[in-house]
Amino acid sequence: MTGGSPVVRSLHGRTVIFTGTLYLDGKAVNRTEASELARRAGAVVSTNSRAKVGRFTNVLVRGESSTWRHGDYGDDEKRVAIYQAQGHEVAIIDASGFASLLGGGWAYAIRPSADALKLPARTAPYRPAQDEASPSPVATTVDLITATNAHNRFQNELAEYVLAAGLTPLRSTRPDAQFDLGWEHGDSLVIVEVKSLAAGSSVQQLRLGLGQVLDYKARLGKVSAILAVDSDPPEPAYWESLCADHGLTLVWPAVIERVLRA
């Protein structure tokens, strides 16, 4: 697969993940056998049979499963949809396509089902934040560029953490509530505002972040809200308590697991 091509022409050098039960020539092939066939064709296959689609995956081979609802092929397909929306080169093929590639042919890439991503209103799949290389209207000094890049890296790390937990990281498309990151939790939307404490006064950044999250929460209605900072906050007990009093969760790298408990 090259760029947006709908065709996968080779498995050579491609990182391959399997999902479901694979049938080749009418016979069920277990994950170990399928992995070995892919390796013989030059593919890169994890030794972990339960490996999931990640940002370095190129091909998802989709088998069959009686547990999948019609049109919903599980978490791996949803991950493909997320990564495709972010611009990553990753394709889905079925058993017949896999067999064709093993025989030196090619395979059509299958689009994720229309229901692979059911997004809340005014959201879209998350796009990784890009570092600033030179002064811009947002970052006009070297110090601000450094702080902006620290913010972006931490935000992207949180998105990867969310994705690794099997959730769909989202971004806002609302001009009046531009939260940095979000995902669905049950019937609620979780929103995250990220602040870098390297941007200046830690207290000033915490106050700014707290105000932004409260504003977004009021505008969006039924949401859970998180304020995430990229280093240990001053007086953590005080700021945790203050955030909790307003229905927010405060997280930083040392307590990152809280990001999934909001």
Count CA atoms within 13 Å of residue 227 on its CB side: 30
What is the value of pTM for the model shown? 0.65
Query: How many CB atoms are located within 10 Å of the residue 234 CB?
Result: 12
d(CA 197, CA 12): 45
With CA atoms as reference, report the closest residue to 157 among 126, 201, 124, 120: 126
How remote is the C-alpha of 203 from its chain's centroid?
30
The CA R_g of the chain, rounded to the nearest whole Å, is 21
With CA atoms as reference, report the closest residue to 63 among 113, 98, 111, 112: 98
d(CA 10, CA 61): 13
pLDDT tens by residue, the chain, 262 residues? 444 458 899 999 999 999 988 999 889 999 999 999 999 999 999 888 788 898 899 999 998 887 776 567 778 888 898 888 888 889 999 999 999 999 999 998 988 887 777 778 788 888 888 766 555 554 455 566 777 888 889 999 999 988 888 888 999 988 899 999 999 887 789 999 999 987 568 999 999 999 999 999 999 988 999 999 999 999 999 999 999 999 999 999 999 888 877 6
